[in-house]
Amino acid sequence: MKIIIEDTTLRDGEQGVGIAFTAEDRVHVITELDELGVGAVETGYYSPDEPELNSRLLSLPCRDKLTAFCGTCRPGERADGDPTLVSLAQSGYRRAALFGKTMKTMVSAVLRAEPEENLRMIRESVKFLSSVGVRVTFDAEHIFDAVKTDPEYAFAALRAAADGGAAELMLCDTVGGSLPGEIADITKMAVKAFPGVIIGIHCHNDAGLAEACVLAAADAGASAVQGTISGIGERCGNANLNTVIPLLQLKRGYECVPPENLPRLTHTARYISEVANLRFDEREPFVGGYAFRHKAGTHIDATIKLPGSFEHIDPAAVGNSRGMVISGLSGRAAIVSRIKALTGAVPDKNDPRVIGVAARIKQLENEGYVFDAADASLTLVLLEALGTRRRFFEVLKYQITITEGSQSGAVLISPELAAEYEADPTRRAPEFYENNNACSAVVKVRVGGEYRITADEGNGPVNALDLALRKSLRHFYPEIVGMYLTDYKVRVLTTGAATASGVRVLIESSDGSETWRTVGVSSDVVEASCKALSDSIEYFLMQRKSEKGE
C-alpha cells in the first residue's frame, strides 16, 4: 500500500519560533523534497500579493506537487468573490489545502458565525476551487477534539468538504493532545464514512506522541500523511518526517517514497536543517549522527563481531552509517577497530600501543575531556599515541587585549608568555595597537622552521584569537579559508570553584561537506579555546592533505 507524504515544512514548519524561509530557501527545500520523492509540498500561506514568488515556484519542474495553503471564504461572503480564492484559482497551482473549522465552539467564538454558515463556507470554497481543476485537500482543524465533543457536527464539516469535491480530508490533531488509540478510532470512522475520499493525518507533538499517532492513523486506514522535516512547527512542532517515513516504510511496509530514494533521507534532513538555519539534532532517530553510534564496550565488541547486533535497521537504508565512540567505557576492542579504520593496521588488543591509548584516554577524561562529542580530537590523540600524528603547526604564544573604553583594558596571555614575563619582571605586556572592537589578539606560530606573528581584532577574546590564528596559518596553508566554525560551547567542570573553575570548550567546524568536533580543557577559557581551535584546524589540514596524497 502506498501512503502519500505531504510535506508542510515551508508552511506549518515556518510557524515554529525562530524559523523563516526566504524565496531562495523555498526553492532549495522544494527541490530537495522532490528529489527525496515526497508526494506533495506545501509552499506556504498563499498570498495574491506575492506574484513573483508564486510564479518562481510554479516554474519549478515539480510544480504539480506544489500545494498552496489558505482558508475558506469568510462568513457572509461568496467563495467566487473572495480575493484570495479567486487569485489562487487563476495562479496556476494545481493543488490547494483549505483549512476550516469543525467545532461549533470555534465557529461561534472565532469565526463569529452560525454553524450552518460555516458548513456553507467549507462546501462552496472547496467547490469553487475544484470547479477550475484544483485538487483540494480540506484541512479539518481540531477534528479529533470535535468528534469527542460533537461528532455529528464534526462529520457534517467533513461531509461539506466532500460534497464540495474535496479529493482529500486531512484529519488534524491541531492541539496535539490526542492519544494514538483515539487517533486510530476516529480515523477508522472517517475512512468508513468517506470511502471515495483520501483520508489523511496531520499531528502536532504537544504530547510527544506525533509520530506514534501518525502510525496509528496509517494502520487505521489513512493513506496520506502530513509532517515536517525534523518535526519543526507551531509550539512543540509537527510529526517528524525523518522518523515517520522510515517507520512507515521499513517497519510497516508502506511505500512513502520510492525505495531507491530512501537512502537520501539523512542527507535531506541535514540539508533542510541547514537551509532553515537550525542546529541539527544528532540524537534524532534514524538520521542523527548518534543514531547508530555505539559507546559501551560490550555493544562495540558485539557490533564488531556481528554488525547490526545493536541496531534496529541497517543504517544504510536511510543513508546513515554506524560508528563507535571511543571513551573510557569502550574497551580495547573499540580502539583496535578505530586504529584499523585510521591506518589499515590491525594491532592485537594487548599491543602496548593499544594499552597506552586506552590509558591516555582515561587520563584525559579524568581531566575533563570528552571524546564521544569530539571525534576529531580523538583521532589526533590516537595518531599521537601511535606516533603517526603530523604536527602541521605549533602555537608558541598568544596575547589578547580586552579594551574597556579608549584608555584602559585587560590583557590575557598564554602560559608560555606568562613564563617569559615571570622570568623577566621588567618586561611589560605591550598594547600592540589600538582597535575599535572589544578585543585584539597577537599569535605566534611555528610551521617547520619558520615563525610568524600575526594580529587581528574580534568580537570577544576567542573570536580575536581565532581570526589571528587563521591569519597566521593562511600564509602556510591557504586552504583553511574553506573551513569555518559552526558551533562553540563552554561548560564549567568544577562548579564549586566559581570563576576559578576548570572549563571544557567544544567546537564544531565544517568545510561545507563534512562536520567535525574538537575539545579543549583548561582553567582558562581562552587556553581551552586555543586547544580546541588548534585541533580543529589540524584535523582539517590532515584530511585535506590525505585527500591529496601529501
- For 155-189, what is each residue's pLDDT tens digit? 999 999 999 999 999 999 999 999 999 999 999 99
* 423-448 burial code (b ≥16 CB/10 A, e <16): eeeeeeeeeeeebeebbbbbbbbebe
Q: Which pTM value belongs to this model?
A: 0.75
Number of Cβ within a 10 Å radius of residue 35: 15
Q: How confident is the model at residue 425 (pLDDT cuts 50, 70, 90)?
A: low
CA Rg value for the chain: 29
Give the mean model confidence (pLDDT) for residues 72-98.
97
Strand partners, 137: 97, 168
Chain segment 455-488, per-residue pLDDT in tens: 999 888 888 999 999 999 999 999 999 998 888 8
Asked if 456 and 469 count as a contact pair (C-beta separation under 8 A), the reply is no
- Using a 10 angstrom Cβ sphere, with 0-12 exposed, 13-18 middle and 19 or more buried, the burial of residue 19 is middle
Between CA 60 and CA 29 the distance in angstroms is: 12
pLDDT tens track for 281-337: 989 999 998 898 877 767 767 777 788 899 999 999 999 988 766 666 666 777 777
Residue limits of CATH 3.20.20.70 in the chain:
4-275
Specify the residue for cell string 573553575: 501
- Cβ neighbours, 10 Å, residue 69: 22
Residue 548 binned pLDDT confidence (cut-offs 50, 70, 90): confident
Query: For residue 494, what pLDDT band results from cuts at 50, 70 and 90?
Result: low
* pLDDT of 387: 84
59-77 pLDDT, tens per residue?
999 999 999 999 999 999 9
Within 8 A by CB and 6+ apart from 226, the residues are 6, 7, 8, 12, 170, 200, 201, 202, 238, 239
Alpha-carbon distance of 197 to 236, in angstroms, equals 30
Q: Are β-strands 293-294 and 323-324 bridged in parallel, bridged antiparallel, or unpaired?
A: parallel
Q: Is 393 exposed, middle or buried (0-12, 13-18, 19+ CB in 10 A)?
A: buried
- Residues 103, 149: contact at Cβ < 8 Å? yes
Give the residue from 389, 326, 374, 393 showing the smallest Cα distance to 546: 389
Mean per-residue pLDDT of the chain: 89
pLDDT of residue 429 exceeding 60, the answer is: no
Query: What's residue 433's pLDDT?
Result: 40
- According to DSSP, residue 261 is labeled G
pLDDT of residue 430: 44
d(CA 465, CA 537): 13
Average pLDDT for 105-131: 97
**What is the CATH superfamily name and number for domain 4-275?**
Aldolase class I (3.20.20.70)
| Backbone φ and ψ of 294, nearest 5° | -110, 140
- Side-chain half-sphere of 100: how many Cα atoms within 13 Å? 35
H/E stretch holding 510: strand 503-510
Tell me the residue type at 328: G
Closest CA to 276 of 7, 12, 22: 22
Report the relative pairing of strands 224-227 and 198-203 from DSSP bridges.
Answer: parallel
